[in-house]
């Protein structure tokens, strides 16, 4: 790993010491600065140019670093840039740090704390929080130390324009950043009336998206290449039109095997819906439930504290975590030890394990299509549409709020429009 120049490291540490940064945090900041130097050396970026920081943060995003880690890394590199600008040989005076600490305006720490509260208040998913916090952290780095209550619309426009022109992000990615900043102004800064970013922004053109769809034969081939329980998960994704997170968040009480109904709680947008369980899966599901129950009984003999539950449910029903009805349909293979309490709990299978299994199966199947877990959901909708199932029915099964979202699947099947002039009485004679 590329090392930080000794003189820079000394000044960097002195700055943190004067600022009263703890020894543990000093090590963390130095670690991120070393990572930055190593990144620049590896990918031929200049450590002295601020464009390198943008590329570094992009790499952290690709590596799925948490928003908190991205913020800490950004601040660490910004301190280094400040050292370069001032050509420091001595640390700043104590008075400079005191005046900085006496700043009474809104801090970025309070912004992220307020963001977490606003997300939780609206019952949005943890994934939404990570996405929004990641973009806001990136926006903070772009502002180069500017405090939250000093942000102007010009800063927002410059950031979004930079994403489109310099970062060359896709239209959907830029819209995601736009939504994160809109949430920041609306629910955190309470300045929604100022948010008018439609004028003066270079927007990345959003292309028409046509999803990848498998044939029924390709679905069967991929599933045949998967081991248990990943093959059953793939069957649920395709057979019920589930998103991956919806499938992995299923609990025992979501299954109604007698009525052949599956209930999806807290889907996208926190909406609930029901879909029919495929009859061909009933036998396999019953065998799977028996295996999960056997694992559950083994857990109970090992000082088990139950499945992880939403905080509100656990407060309302303290014993629910130990009930079989609240156990995961697809539990993780290992128990998780909670550091704060020492409890042994079980989580569901991690999304990355399923995604990795599907990638491996697709590779072994030698398909010429880019297949992900979500491809099974696209295929579910397309095959129903191909079977002449009503578009509104498909919309309900997918949990779409707007039928226009469902209409995208009309591009994935062959047109069955009859262009010849014909009487309706003769339609039955036509081979559709």
Q: Which residues are catalytic?
A: 243, 268, 374, 377, 400, 409
Q: Where are the alpha helices (DSSP H) in 275-372?
A: 282-300, 311-316, 351-365
**Residues 350, 332: contact at Cβ < 8 Å?**
yes
Whether cis (ω within 30° of 0) applies to the bond prior to 229 is yes
Helix (H, G, I), strand (E, B) or coil at 365: helix
57 and 138 Cβ atoms separated by less than 8 Å = yes
Host H or E run for residue 275 = strand 273-276
- Output phi, psi for 407, to 5 deg: -65, -15
Total Cβ atoms within 10 A of residue 309: 17
Reading the block at residue 402, the tokens are 């707007």
Name residues whose C-beta falls within 8 Å of residue 323's C-beta, 6 or more positions apart in sequence: none
- Dihedral sign of CA atoms 161, 162, 163, 165 in order: positive
256 SS3 class: strand
By three-state DSSP, how is residue 326 classified?
Answer: helix
Alpha helices in 249-350 (DSSP H): 282-300, 311-316
Residues 6+ apart with CB under 8 A from 271: 399, 401
Instruction: State phi, psi for 337 to the nearest 5 degrees.
Output: -95, 125
Cα(16)–Cα(68) distance, rounded to whole angstroms? 18
Q: CB 370: neighbour CB atoms within 10 A?
A: 8
Asked if 299 and 335 touch (Cβ cutoff 8 Å), the reply is yes
d(CA 294, CA 231): 20
Residue the block writes with tokens 């000794």 = 6
DSSP state of 209: P
């Amino acid at each position: 790993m590329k090392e930080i120049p000794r003189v820079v490291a000394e000044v960097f540490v002195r700055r943190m010491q004067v600022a009263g940064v703890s020894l543990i945090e000093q090590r963390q900041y130095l670690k991120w600065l070393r990572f930055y130097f190593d990144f620049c050396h590896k990918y031929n970026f200049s450590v002295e140019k601020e464009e390198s920081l943008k590329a570094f943060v992009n790499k952290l995003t690709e590596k799925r670093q948490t928003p908190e880690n991205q913020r800490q890394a950004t601040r660490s590199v910004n301190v280094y840039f400040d050292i370069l600008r001032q050509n420091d040989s001595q640390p700043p005076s104590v008075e400079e740090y005191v005046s900085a600490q006496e700043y009474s305006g809104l801090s970025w720490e309070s912004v992220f704390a307020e963001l977490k509260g606003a997300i939780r208040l609206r019952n949005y998913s943890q994934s939404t929080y990570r996405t929004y916090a990641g973009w806001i952290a990136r926006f903070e780095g772009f502002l180069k130390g500017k405090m939250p209550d000093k942000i102007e619309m010009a800063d927002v426009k410059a950031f979004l324009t930079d994403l489109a022109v310099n970062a060359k992000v896709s239209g959907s990615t830029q819209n995601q950043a736009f939504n994160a900043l809109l949430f920041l102004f609306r629910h955190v800064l309470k300045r929604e009336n100022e948010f008018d970013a439609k004028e003066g922004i270079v927007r990345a053109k959003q292309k028409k998206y046509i999803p990848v769809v498998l044939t029924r034969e390709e679905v069967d081939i991929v599933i045949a290449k998967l081991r248990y329980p990943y093959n059953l998960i793939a069957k649920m994704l395709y057979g019920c039109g589930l998103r991956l997170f919806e499938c992995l968040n299923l609990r025992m009480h979501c299954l109604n095997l007698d009525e052949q109904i599956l209930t999806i709680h807290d889907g996208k947008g926190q909406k609930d819906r029901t879909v029919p369980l495929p009859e061909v899966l009933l036998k396999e599901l019953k065998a799977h439930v028996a295996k999960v129950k056997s694992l559950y009984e083994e857990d109970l003999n090992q000082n088990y504290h139950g499945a992880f539950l939403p905080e509100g449910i656990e407060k309302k029903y303290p014993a629910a975590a130990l009930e079989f009805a609240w156990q995961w349909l697809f539990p993780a293979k290992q128990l998780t030890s909670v550091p704060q309490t020492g409890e042994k709990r079980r989580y569901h299978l991690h999304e990355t394990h399923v995604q990795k299994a599907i990638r491996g199966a697709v590779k072994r199947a030698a398909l010429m299509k880019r297949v992900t877990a979500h491809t099974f959901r696209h295929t579910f909708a397309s095959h129903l549409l191909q079977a002449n199932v009503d578009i509104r029915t498909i919309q309900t099964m997918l949990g779409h709020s707007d039928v226009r979202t469902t209409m995208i699947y009309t591009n994935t099947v062959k047109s069955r429009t009859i262009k010849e002039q014909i009487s309706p009485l003769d339609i039955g004679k036509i081979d559709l």
